[in-house]
Amino acid sequence: MISPETTTVTTIYTTFDSPLGELLLVGEESATAPGGTALASLSMPQQRGVTVQPHWRRAPGPFAEAVRQLRAYFAGERTRFELAFRTAGTEFQERVWRALEAIPYGTTTTYGRLTDVAGAPRGDVRALGAAIGANPLLILRPCHRVIGADGTMRGYAAGVERKIALLTHEGALQPTLI
């Protein structure tokens, strides 16, 4: 009898110092991803539920391209990311996350408008908000560009102050003078 092959997924990670604090990049080794690593998560300090696990292996090398693109983004030299992602959301979440990628740099959209883009009924705004909140790739899938219909800054997994900082960086908000 032939036993089915089991594949072991190796989870690797690195950290990156950014203007928003230390970012945690998590990936999975992948034979099909450029560079051999598909990015599974990008999170920020104090983000709930995101911590390095004991079985993960620290490996900064495979994240060199992601770090290069993030540095260029924070330097104002990049407005889009070209990286391989591997996320494990529901079909609805993945559809919402793809819709986030279509929001242009330097702009915002509302939750209501995003339901249309994601092909969700208008009554599913709460489900859409939950899917946005579960986005594992902050900055890369720009959920920070989604705001309330009245222009208010709704929740952000890494804190509303970081959402405001990202929108200000992108020119979608004017800096506040204190």
Residues ≥6 apart with Cβ < 8 Å to 18: 70, 74
Identity (one letter) of the amino acid at 137? L
Which residue's structure tokens are 């702009």? 107
Can 143 be counted among the known catalytic residues?
Answer: yes
Q: What phi and psi, each to the nearest 5 degrees, are found at residue 69?
A: -70, -40
Q: Are 47 and 23 in contact (CB under 8 A)?
A: no
List 143, 167, 172, 173, catalytic entry: 143
CB neighbour class for 75 (10 Å; exposed up to 12, middle 13-18, buried from 19): exposed
Where in the sequence numbering do the catalytic residues fall?
Answer: 143
